[in-house]
Amino acid sequence: MSDITDEFSFLPDQAADIGVDGPLPPVERLRLPLEDGRTVSALRYGEGAPRVTFLHGAGLNAHTWDTTVLALGLDALAVDLPGHGESSWRDDAAYVARTLAPDIHAAMAAWTDRPQLLVGQSLGGLTAAAVAARDPDLVHALIVIDITPGIDPAAGPSQIREFFAGPTHWASRDEMVDRALAFGLGGSRSAAERGVFLNSRERPDGRFEWRHHFAHLAARAAAAPPGSGDGDRDAVSSVLAASGWEDLAAVRVPVTLVRGTRGYVTPADAADFTRRLPAASVIELDSGHNVHEEQPRGLAELIRARAGND
């Protein structure tokens, strides 16, 4: 895969995979300097002003939405969360929704000109709720994908944690692809190559590492003494769950929870969501946690129906 150099070179094959014909929308990389010296980055799809803004989950990046956006056919913005993609890492490693929300708010204020349909998956879903609660003028509707505040969006299944808890750098991207496939991740080799290319970077010494900070934090946690910090983690999770429910309760626009039937949100979690937010909608799609990657056309249809006609 050494001949792949363009982050947008995968789009034609992705469009063909889902049966999208015709010319592809223009896609550009955006960067916004922040007051503290960090940068937030995003992808803008289409020639007009974005109508839909997407926030990805932990360990992913804005390109995870490529196929869904191609199926959607609307002008859109996909933001790299802090510590992911081409957005700067945080020195404090505070990757929680309310901490991430100000950067997303700045990005949306800079790159959109109308209230957005805000779509967030996993950690991005909780961050989207925090953004909508912070500034309702930026958002006209909210879609949260396979997450509720009672679920730790960074924990994931043990397979994912073990995968990222391994080496933090490799001699080549092919080695990273081999590791992903050995863990049963990435699907076909071509899909794994795409995922690795878009989620890794070359270091100054010529070795390759994951772009997102979570891989490095997972490796550090794996090297810590057994049992260290477990009690603190439980206490922090309780606080984060409370703040997440508070954010969702403060949202004054229509809210939809999309549950992958094989994802992280259980039927009991969905029932709790409905009890707490009786006005919200809950829709199920036959998918695992990454609904946008497994069911891009079905999800795009749902998003299109909620995007409105503006």
What tens digit of pLDDT does each residue of 43-97 get? 999 999 999 999 999 889 999 999 999 999 999 999 999 999 999 999 999 999 9
Whether residue 122 lies in the annotated active site: yes
User: What's the rounded Cα separation, in Å, for the pair 113 and 166?
Assistant: 43
Task: Answer with the residue of higher pLDDT: 161 or 197.
Answer: 197
Least confident of 75-79, 119-123, 189-193: 189-193
| Residue from 223, 225, 296, 287 nearest 259 by CA | 287
What is the H or E stretch that residue 120 is in? Answer: strand 116-121
Domain 11-154+222-307 CATH class label: alpha beta
Q: Which of 146, 200, 213, 287 is catalytic?
A: 146
Q: Please tell me what DSSP assigns to residue 142.
A: E
Between 48 and 217, name the one with better pLDDT.
48
What's the token pair of residue 298? Answer: 């079905």
From the number of C-beta atoms within 10 Å of its C-beta (0-12, 13-18, 19+), residue 164 rates as buried
| Residue 172 is among the residues annotated as catalytic for this protein | no
Q: What phi, psi does 52 have (nearest 5°)?
A: -130, 135
Name the active-site residue from 41, 87, 122, 200: 122
Given 56, 63, 169, 289, which residue is catalytic? 289
Amino acid at 297: R
Residues of the chain above pLDDT 90, percent: 75
Higher pLDDT, 168 or 295: 295
**Position of tokens 């015709």?**
22
Residues comprising the chain, all counted: 310
pLDDT classification of 276: cutoffs 50, 70, 90: very high
Across the chain, mean pLDDT equals 90
- pLDDT value for 240: 65
Supply the pTM of this predicted model: 0.93
In one-letter notation, the amino acid at residue 23 is P
The helix (run of H) or strand (run of E) holding residue 220 is helix 213-223
DSSP element (H, E) containing 296: helix 296-307
- Bridge-based pairing of strands 52-55 and 39-45 is unpaired
